[in-house]
Structures are given as structure tokens and as C-alpha cells.
Structure 1
Amino acid sequence: MNSTTTGASSNSTTAFISLCVQIPLLSINILLGFPTHSYVLWLIITGNGFATEFFNLNHSFCEIGICVDFLIFLLSSYISSLLPLALFFQGLSITGRPLFQCLICVERYLAVVHPVTFLKYKPLRYRVICCTAAWLFTLSSCLACLIIILLSSIVVHAWFFSIQFLLYLPIQFFCLVAVLRALKQSGPGERKREKEDENQMKRRAFNVILITTVSMAITYMPATISGIYTFLTQQYNVIFWIPSMLSYVLAGFVQPVLYLHRAGKLSCLCS
């Protein structure tokens, strides 16, 4: 009896601490993330670079979906019937965000390392094809998240979460290293002005890939460690996942801030 009472008390304390952390974090992501990504969407749609920023457009749209998922998750505490919908939209967090970040990095990689190929596939229709495939894969991940949680266990879900990060991050590291190597090399016989312009373009691409890769590592590295720990121990500890949630929410603001900085909408950073 004493053991059972102690275990129940420990579980209730853990759940209380988890809620005290989750609710503020999710609320911050909803209150700040939704207007920020909506503003980015408005800038891209009304601006002149719709085709060139098409991947950023889809990334911001995915982030808005994540904010909606967090809102549904909070509401599911009061309306239990909303929980399956919240579980379904988890695929946006697990697959959508890193997938569109990879597309952004691959685009910068092609522009620097393979400019002929980049110009060949520069038209909007190729970006639409890539984003359509990405959305289909993301929706498949959403369905898989719902099925895994409802029919299996949280341990399998942690494995599903971790394995995807281990697939996406090497792609970004490859793009990062390739652009860095191209930045150190200069073509023979180039004029000084042309060489400076090309190096500036390469540096911008390198900075975009570097920031995106670092933000993705901050986003998913703690979650991957937590997922591997959960899979190996076959136990789910809510407290152990709190740092993962903190890093995920904070890193989600990196990409829109990066775009707003490039668009000249953050005067304090641009100065």
C-alpha cells in the first residue's frame, strides 16, 4: 500500500511539473510563432521573390500548422476528443519542419556548387513538384504518428522520431561542407569584382545553411537523445523530455528571424 501510494504521488508530481513547463512553452510558441510566420507568409506572397522563396513559404505554412497542433494539444486537456487530431498533426513537427529545412539547404547547395543544374531546375514548377512530394511524405508521417501512438506504444514513437532526425541531419552537413569547400575555392581568370560578388553569394548561402543546420541540431539533438534513451530503457519519462521541448520551441523562431533579417525587416539586426 505504501509503495503504491508513493508511486501514485510521484506520477502526479511528474505530471504536474510537466504541465507547468508544457503549457507556458506551447503558449509562447502559439502567441509568438503564429503571427511571426503569418507575417513571413504575407511578405513572400506580396513580394517579388515568390518563386525564389517558395521553400520558405511552405516552411512557414508548416510552422503555422505546428502552432495549430500545439493549440489543439492544449485544448485536448479539456476536450479529449481532440487528442487524436493533435497526435495526427505531430507529423508536421517530426517530418515537415526538417524536410523543408533540408530543401532550403539543398537549394543553396545547388546554387553554389552546381549552378548549371540550379539554373536548369530554377523554374517554379520544379519547386512545386518538390514541395508536393514533401507534403505527401509529411502527411504520411502524420498518419504514421497517429497509428503508432494509438496501436503501439510511446517507445516505438520515440524510435520513429529519432530515426528521421538521423536521416535529415547528414544531408544538411553534406551541403554545409560542400558550400564551405566551394567558398574557399575561386575560379581561375576571374576578375576581382566578379570574384568578390561570387564569394559574397557563397558566404550568404553558407550562412543560411550553417544557421539552418545549427537550428536543426538544437531542435532535434535533445529529442533524439531522449528518444534513444526511451527506446533502450523501454520507459517514458516526461521530465526527461522537457529539455527537448524547450529546444524545439526556441529553435522554431530561427528560420523566420533569418528571413526577416534578409528581407530588411529587422532594423536592429540589419544595423
Structure 2
Amino acid sequence: MQVLYINQSLLFIQKVSNDTPAVQTEFDTCRHMPEVLIFYLGLQFINLFLGIPANIMVLWLLHKSKKDSSTSDIFILHLAVLDTFFCLIPPLELANLMYLTTSSTWYVLRFFYGVKDSSPLFMSCICLDRYMAVLQPIIFTELKDRRHRAFCAAAVWLITLTYAAAKCVGSLPNFDKVFTVMILVAFAFMVFCNISILWALRQSGPGRDEMHPVKKRAFKMVLIILAIIVFNYLPPVALFPFKEYFSPDVFHCYIHYIAFGFMDISSSIQPVLYLSKGNLHYTPLCKCKTSCCIGAAEMEVST
């Protein structure tokens, strides 16, 4: 009887262990399509090794050129601070995705993800500042005092930290729709501002067949910025609104990491772009006779 009892106990334990699924890592969950996860981690480590030094260099240049700084520099500075902190997470992210099964590390990662999700808000502020410089130069000149820009930066940080804290909780119903709406609105606004700037710069002055050199340089710069915005933010804009049309498995293991991979690599691309144009100097405004040209000169300095 005792042997029978022991055997029954062993059978019961074995049945319970078979019925209880083992806790899997994120990589185990997406083992059937690991290429996307590896691609995502590769982009994140580019941020670690390229994004951190590039953003620190941007911060150093902004500090060094305080006296000659442009109106957009306050937003560029805050964006560089945000991206520097975000670029620190790849080692923890690698450990969490590949090896750890604990849920505690997800709270830290979700907070940093929330901070990065809000980076398009700072980009929108930069685009708005350049839009005003080119299309509304008179109002731009009157509002050149930076106090309202500091207020805007503080408001963006308040929104960012509130959103990141809410995302950190991870249990709010339909919270992912907040990001979808935010990225759609920010992307549409950034594209509108840059296309409007390109359209204004493309118009030649009366009696002129060629674009002014200042306007030409600004046009090229805005075109590059627009291309980068589309490259970084179009994947989440194009894919996230259609989440319900994908199976949960495909969206979680494939769409999610592709979209955020392209968005997150902006932490390296944007500072590298700023550094590549770091040798630009102030263009004398007296050489530009049109208001659009004056705005282009102002905008060129801020890139």
C-alpha cells in the first residue's frame, strides 16, 4: 500500500508539473522568428556604442556654444539628454529578452520605453521652431525670447514622465492606443512643418531663376531631416493602427520589434546628423533680402 501511495504521489506531481507551463524568456516566446529580435537588438547596440558618444558630443557642443546658440538648441539639448539615457538600456534589455524570466526588470525597461516613445514631441517642437523661422519670420523675431521655449520643454518633460510612469505600470487597459494616437499626431505635424518649409524655400524670389545659396543649403537640410523623420517614424505610424489585423503572435514577435527598432535608432541618427552639420556658421542676415531667406538663415544655424 505504501509503494502504491508513493507511486500515486509521484504520478500526481508529474501531472502537475506537466500541466504547469515553464516560464519562458522573450526570446523563447519568439523562437520561431528570432531574426527580427536579433535585428532589433543589433539596432539597440548601435545606440549603445554610437548613440551615447554622439549625444554626449552634442551636449558638449551645445554647452560650448552657449553664446551663439540658436532658438532650437534648447529642444535639441533636451532631446540629446533623453536619447543619452535611453541608449544606456541595451545590456539590461539583452539580459531581459534572452535570459531573465523575472517581471521586475520590465518595470525599468517600460519606463525607458515610455521616455523614448515621447521623443517625437521634442522633434515636433524643433520642427515648429523652424517652421516659424521660415514661414512666420516676423512673429518668430518677436518671440525670439527663450522663456516660452523653456516652458514648452518643461511641459514636454511633464507629459513624457507622466506617460512613462503610466507605461511602467503596464496594466492600464488600452494604453497602447495612447502611443498610437501620439505618434500619428506627431508624425503628421512634423511632416506638415517640413513640407511647408520646403515649399516656401522652393519659391524663388521675383525675377530670379535660381534659389538663393542660403535657401538652397536650408532646403537640402530640411529634405534630409524629412527623410530621416519618415525613415524613423513611418513604420510605427503605418503598422500600429492596424494592430488588430495581425495575429497576437505576429504582432508581438515581428511587427512590434520592427517598428520600435526603426524608431529607436533615431537616438543615433539624429545626433550624428547634428554633428555632421556642426561646422555651419551664422549667415549674415543683411545678405538675405526676403523674409523667407532670413528665416532660412535662422533655421540653418539651428541644424
User: Per the shorter chain, which TM-score range?
Assistant: 0.7 to 0.9
Distance in 2 between the 1:256 and 1:182 partners? 26
Larger displacement relative to structure 2 (201-210 or 86-95):
201-210
In terms of Rg, which structure is larger?
2
Residue 84 of structure 2 corresponds to 64
Deviations 1:203-258 (A, max 9, x none): 44444433333222222222233323323446243123343244234443332122
Structure 2 length-normalised TM: 0.70
SS at match of 1:252: helix
* Number of residue pairs aligned between Structure 1 and Structure 2: 249
Seq. identity, %: 28
Is 1:114–2:133 an aligned residue pair? no
Range with greater deviation from structure 2 (203-212 or 104-113)? 203-212
1:219 aligns with 2:219: no
The 2-side partners of 1:254 and 1:207 are apart by: 17
Higher mean Cα deviation, 169-178 or 46-55? 46-55
Q: Does 1:173 align with 2:194?
A: no
- Deviation of 1:15 after TM superposition, in Å, equals 7.2
The residue number in structure 2 matching 1:136 is 158
1:6-28: CA deviations, max 9, x gaps?
A: xx998462375555334333222
1:50–1:75 distance in 2 versus 1, CA, 3 Å: farther
Whichever residue aligns with residue 226 of structure 1, its letter is: L
The equivalent residue for 1:89 is 112
DSSP-derived class of the 2:252 partner: coil
- Asked if structure 1 preserves the Cα contact closer than 8 Å seen for 2:116 and 2:264, the reply is no
2: CA distance, partners of 1:112 / 1:173: 15
The answer to whether 1:159 aligns with 2:177 is yes
Residues in 1 aligned to 2:159 and 2:64: alpha-carbon distance in whole angstroms: 28
The verdict on how the C-alpha distance between 1:75 and 1:128 changes in structure 2, with shifts beyond 3 A counting, is: farther
- Aligned to 1:28, what secondary structure does the other structure show? helix
Contact 1:87 1:146 (8 Å CA) reproduced? yes
Aligned to 1:269: none
Instruction: Spell out structure 1 runs of 4+ moving beyond 6 A.
Output: none
Amino acid at match of 1:256: P
Contact in 2 for aligned 1:75/1:82 (Cα 8 Å): no
Helix, strand or coil for the counterpart of 1:159? helix
Q: Secondary structure at the match of 1:68?
A: coil
Contact map agreement 1:218 1:251 (CA 8 A) in 2: no
State the distance in 1 between where 2:123 and 2:271 align.
Answer: 12
Q: Which string of whole-angstrom CA distances, capped at 9 and with x for unpartnered residues, describes residues 109-164 of structure 1?
A: 111111111111212222211111111111122123224x2344xxx354332221
Q: 2:126 maps to what in 1?
A: 104
Secondary structure at the aligned position of 1:14 is classed as: coil
Larger helix fraction of residues? 1
Cα pair 2:46 2:268 within 8 Å, conserved: no
Query: What does residue 244 of structure 2 align with?
Result: 231
Q: Report which stretch shifted further, 101-110 or 14-23.
A: 14-23
CA distance in 1, matches of 2:221, 2:151: 23
1: distance between equivalents of 2:151 and 2:216? 28
Give the letter for the 2:256 counterpart.
Answer: W
Q: After superposition, where does 1:183-202 map in structure 2 within 5 Å?
A: 183-185=201-203, 199-202=212-215
SS at 2:192 equivalent: helix
Q: In structure 2, do the counterparts of structure 1 residues 201 and 58 end up closer, same or farther at CA, with 3 Å as the change threshold?
A: farther
- Provide structure 2 residue ranges, at least 5 long, that are not aligned to the other structure: 1-20, 281-303
